[in-house]
Structure 1
């Protein structure tokens, strides 16, 4: 019999009535011929209540004891769910993460899954029982209870679907599916019939609260079809399918997102030589902090400026690490800015289409929103703005790309789930032995591009829009875009284009720069872009450390950086490209799949 995994979040089991309704969905799926595994979160605000209780006892609760405390919320839910199923005339068994055999590392409050045993679950399923698994938790090698951190029940559900070879994983929540943006703040947000794993990874990391990025990593890594559906719906509407395909491959932008609570740290005056970036990234990685929007300006006079963003709650620890790093370099200084937000657009189509960046920047300029920093990836463009302007920025870009309108239908993009390849049980267990280990898909060198840099750009709305409107008017395909923090109110904007287009791009950029008092404009006709592709490259904080150490050991200086959930790009001197590729291939040889 095919297996189906159903996950019910806290709002979907917040009351006894909702628990009974969830139980009915599980029983109905079993009656339709499925073996059913339910993953259940803590009821409603139960976790918040437990956190508050701990706060009444101590300001600094031990992480191990917090795991012990918080895991009880899910245990309440699974027991009640089993009772509800019994009342409906079916058989069920409730299991904690430890009883299932979900083994994790020992990182309390943010543990990563290492392996899952299927024997006990499969025995109960074959006996005709619905298995009700406590989400969000596991045990380490010493039998300590661990929790998986934010979105942990999603991660549990998709992981169980992967290890069981489930037909699908249904995520029941209080919304109808995945929307083009947060429908609570943008009334025109539209439910998507489908979204690709890569797009969803980016959107989840950017603050789309429907799914957590770690669960999408599992879905992509192990080809798990994921349905996001409304738990309150009495129909069988499929909601949104998360799988290999986007809604429409021809559409440049599929969604927009806002990360509200960002902070930026800037380290100025760093020696522009190999090793500096590695030292900084390593210092921050020791605090287990994932950094974002990494911007390294092109060095001048032997010095470079490095800026990056973190969630505002991690600002104090990040500042401490950055200041300790700066102390090793006379003249280096650390500054920071809080109360920022990041607005982003995401879409597989932008990898092959021109004119996306200029439209986004024009929409922000027309809304009189100033861009403080820019980073891009193959399928994402992000702009840092004042927090007070964050919602306006989100609404502006959502409107610009007409995300409220459904794309044209395509025969290749239905609302069905592609069948995933089924491996045998031995292969599944082997691949899942350390489920959340870093997986690198490829390391690549692109030696076909050049770089253009506009210096001394005023910190004012509209200039980036005018630059990239002029570039788009010449049909020049831009890959990386980096806008740094600048000094004295002035910033640098660097971007890459095909080598044969560098001269034309310089001409266009120079004309635009002259109109706005920017410049001079510099360029390099040939650069080397080194890229590391993988699942979870941002959430695995050691990726940057390994990458920059390898380049440091090879004596290669990093000139530009940009990051995403699935890709880290660095620009190095063209003559160092092949050596850099070999260094990175050697550094990631043990994790390249």
Structure 2
């Protein structure tokens, strides 16, 4: 008999009528022949109410007691849902996180799942029960109640689907699927029928509120198909699987992260080990760093810029205060009035004009770009907060995301193409002692690379578009793009990597750009290589970059450029040290390599 995990978010169980509706969906699935596990969030704004109560008691409540308090919201929901199922004539049993056997570490408010014991759930299912499990919570080795943090109920649902070998994990929410961008911000956004794990993982980390990135990490790791559906209609929704909707469309979605903060550590000595000191201090506070930009150093020093969630800025600055003297940096600046606008697409890596199209769209909308980072499937830009909504609209329109691609495939077509054998979940990959352990899929070396750096780029709209349109016209394929601050005059520097054979032509284009825009300087280098750490959970496991920097520092290898994404950490280094660096990183991450 097939098994389905159904997750209902807070808006889906916000009142008694919605609780009854959720119960009816579960009963309907059971009567269709499925065994059913429900994962339920706290009702409506219940968690916010509990947080408000805690703030009235004191400003700094103990983390353990906060988890004890917040876990009660889900316990109310599961009991009420189980009661509703009984009233409708079916059998149900409600279980807390501890009762479903969810063991976590002891990181209160951000706990990670270590193992799930499924015996009790299996027994209750065999007895004909619908199992109603509390999302968001577990217990540690000392039986303390822990919570999983933001999106914890999604994570609970996908984790249960993985360990139970479920046929699908249905996520019921207040929207009817995944859209090309947030439809509340852009009404013309289009619902997609299929989106890949990688695309959804990037979009989730960028602020797409439908799913949390940790749950997508689980799904990708264990091959769990996720079906995002509306709690209030029978719309087909969106399937999140390994494949993308289109094989030709370069961009599948756009996202805006409104509340970001930029931090720049100025004048960092350009020697091995300094990045390690900076990011170790931040990682110790479990702060997820994004858009890491370390550009090419000048006069023995480099600036390192990165973004953090606006709410984590204070803690980030406190961490830096403790290490800035030891690092030998000249100072720290920050800006909390910035937002991140990004585009994501699996087909981006094979098309050369994606960056220039995005930058031109922003230029035409009068939006200034403060930072740029890229990965194989994502381009992120940091823009002024008051320009973010216009920026999102501009890039969505530029890539015609409101139109369905001509070659778009439905889930039924993809399922038929891939064959039945590949649909099976990859439960053999489960490691009972560490479900959320970091999983790396590879450490690779890209040789024969070259770098072009433009110094003194005026900080005004349109420059980035001009740069990359001119490079595109020269038929030069660009890999990494990094833009960061360059000096007290407010100018920026832009570095990009190309194939070594294209360096001469790239420098000719750079010289034209320098003359056109009055740049201060251009530099080129052909003695570089790129090392890449790829995997699942790179950003949520905040120690990955720390370990990378630690290994490179130990081997006395300096980092020239860095960029990060949900799926990769890339570092540009001296080509002469490339093989040594790759071998060292493989040893460091040996336990995490699949």
TM-score interval (norm. to shorter): over 0.9
CA distance in 2, matches of 1:149, 1:96: 16
CA distance in 1, matches of 2:314, 2:59: 17
Residue equivalent to 1:391: 389
CA deviations 1:242-279 (Å, max 9, x no partner) are 00011102110000000111111111111111111111
What's the offset of the Cα at 1:410? 4.8
CA distance in 2, matches of 1:73, 1:222: 29
CA distance in 2, matches of 1:350, 1:515: 29
CA distance in 2, matches of 1:300, 1:581: 26
Q: Secondary structure at the match of 1:242?
A: strand
Q: Secondary structure at the match of 1:4?
A: strand
What's the offset of the Cα at 1:519? 3.7
The answer to whether the 8 Å contact 1:195/1:245 transfers is yes
Residue equivalent to 2:370: 372
Residue equivalent to 1:103: 103
Residue equivalent to 2:513: 512
State how 1:433-512 maps to structure 2 within 5 Å.
433-487=433-487, 488-512=489-513
What's the offset of the Cα at 1:329? 4.5
Q: Please, what TM-score do these two structures have when normalized by structure 2?
A: 0.97
Residue equivalent to 1:50: 50
The answer to whether the 8 Å contact 2:64/2:108 transfers is yes
Residue equivalent to 1:348: 346
Residue equivalent to 2:302: 304
CA distance in 1, matches of 2:238, 2:536: 22
CA distance in 2, matches of 1:447, 1:115: 40
What's the offset of the Cα at 1:421? 5.5
What's the offset of the Cα at 1:424? 9.1
The answer to whether the 8 Å contact 2:448/2:526 transfers is no
The answer to whether the 8 Å contact 1:510/1:519 transfers is no
Residue equivalent to 2:530: 529
User: How many correspondences in the alignment?
Assistant: 589
What's the offset of the Cα at 1:432? 3.7
Residue equivalent to 1:316: 314
What's the offset of the Cα at 1:323? 2.8
| CA spacing shift, 1:12–1:331, aligned 2, 3 Å | closer
CA distance in 2, matches of 1:431, 1:329: 39
Q: Secondary structure at the match of 1:100?
A: coil
What's the offset of the Cα at 1:552? 0.5
Residue equivalent to 1:162: 162
The answer to whether the 8 Å contact 2:269/2:328 transfers is no
CA distance in 2, matches of 1:405, 1:354: 21
CA deviations 1:509-528 (Å, max 9, x no partner) are 21022101014211112411
State how 1:3-18 maps to structure 2 within 5 Å.
3-18=3-18
Q: Secondary structure at the match of 1:484?
A: strand
Residue equivalent to 1:408: 406
| CA spacing shift, 1:272–1:524, aligned 2, 3 Å | same
| CA spacing shift, 1:392–1:166, aligned 2, 3 Å | same
Residue equivalent to 2:244: 246
| CA spacing shift, 1:90–1:413, aligned 2, 3 Å | closer
CA distance in 2, matches of 1:270, 1:376: 23
CA distance in 2, matches of 1:456, 1:332: 20
CA distance in 2, matches of 1:414, 1:249: 16
Residue equivalent to 2:113: 113
CA distance in 1, matches of 2:264, 2:426: 50
Residue equivalent to 1:571: 572
| 1:549 matched to 2:550 | yes
What's the offset of the Cα at 1:412? 8.5
CA distance in 2, matches of 1:412, 1:82: 35
Residue equivalent to 2:152: 152
Residue equivalent to 1:586: 587
What's the offset of the Cα at 1:416? 5.6
CA distance in 2, matches of 1:172, 1:186: 22
Residue equivalent to 1:197: 197
Residue ranges of structure 2 left out of the alignment (5+ in a row): none
CA distance in 2, matches of 1:544, 1:410: 36
CA distance in 2, matches of 1:263, 1:415: 42
Q: Which runs of 4+ in 1 moved over 4 A?
A: 410-425
CA distance in 2, matches of 1:124, 1:214: 27
* Backbone CA RMSD of aligned residues: 1.4
CA distance in 2, matches of 1:423, 1:242: 14
What's the offset of the Cα at 1:422? 4.2
52-61 or 518-527, larger mean C-alpha shift: 518-527
CA distance in 2, matches of 1:423, 1:182: 30
CA distance in 1, matches of 2:95, 2:412: 37
The answer to whether the 8 Å contact 2:246/2:409 transfers is no
What's the offset of the Cα at 1:238? 2.4
